Amino acid sequence: MTKSSQIHNNLAPLRNVMSFMTMVERLEGRSSGIPGMGCFYGPAGFGKSMAAMYCGMRTEACLVQCESCWTPTALCEAILDELGVKPQSTVWRMAKQIQQALASDNIPLIIDEADHIVTKKYIELIRDLYEKSQVPVVLIGEEAMPSKLQQWQRINSRLLARVPAEPLDKQDFDILAGIRCPDVELAPDLAQAIQMASRGSARLIVNNLDSVRMEAQVRGVSGPVSLADLGKFDLHDGVPAEMRRFA
């Protein structure tokens, strides 16, 4: 099974994946003269990046995930690498290459971890890429991303959609449990405890399910696995441990 197939099988039904896809479809199907940028935002761990990966696979979008050390040059080089285009020597020449490639292929541009671009204040480069290509451009960031973008009116006014990533619900949990623990049946008390500890975070749910699966295998538990079966077993709740104090 390819990585693309795994993403499709594992995440296609989740609510945030479908919300992201719906937003991109809205941007692609917009009427003439309507802005074509979108913002997908939410807390870390809610599955934003995986939703973008799934969308990139389904739509053949150009997806890049920014890094904290990136400069405008690094961003342009990363986009061109994703597009399969050899970068030229300057940012403005690379920007022109990106604009032409996106417009020619008519594919969306998805920028994950876009908070770094906003913080370093070269977000206007993204507007330039959008204006000359007119393809859908989606910025993915943390919960404060929409408010951060308000200081950049030329970006903010071009946002057709601002879509929040939502906490995963019981249906999402059941889907992930079937994927991550296919051979382990969870008793209702354990399933509820995992959901409560994870607080809607896809990352915490996956971590907890994987830990439960391994613990059940180590203990040789058969049948529905309950909290009692696991003994003194701590679920991940994302809260940092208190600093230890030594005498």
pLDDT digits (tens, 9 = 90+) for 86-101: 999 999 999 999 999 9
C-beta separation of 4 from 56 below 8 A = no
Residue 148 three-state SS: helix
Q: What is the mean pLDDT of residues 26-46?
A: 95
pLDDT for 43 beyond 80? yes
* CA gap 209, 228 in Å, rounded: 16
- Residue intervals in the chain for CATH 3.40.50.300: 3-164
**What's the pLDDT at 28?**
95
**What's the pLDDT at 219?**
82
In the structure, what pLDDT confidence band is assigned to residue 5 with cuts at 50, 70 and 90?
A: very low
| Higher pLDDT, residue 236 or 27 | 27
What is the per-residue pLDDT across 98-154, written as a single tens digit (0 to 9) for each? Answer: 999 999 999 999 999 999 999 999 999 999 999 999 999 999 999 999 999 999 999
**What's the pLDDT at 4?**
46
Please give the structure tokens belonging to residue 148.
Answer: 């951060």
pLDDT for 21 beyond 50? yes
| Higher pLDDT, residue 61 or 243 | 61
In the structure, what pLDDT confidence band is assigned to residue 172 with cuts at 50, 70 and 90?
A: very high
In the structure, what pLDDT confidence band is assigned to residue 238 with cuts at 50, 70 and 90?
A: confident
**What's the pLDDT at 217?**
84
Share of the chain above pLDDT 70, in %: 93
CA angle centred on 203, ends 213 and 113, rounded to 5°: 155
* CA gap 243, 35 in Å, rounded: 49
The CATH class that applies to domain 3-164 reads alpha beta
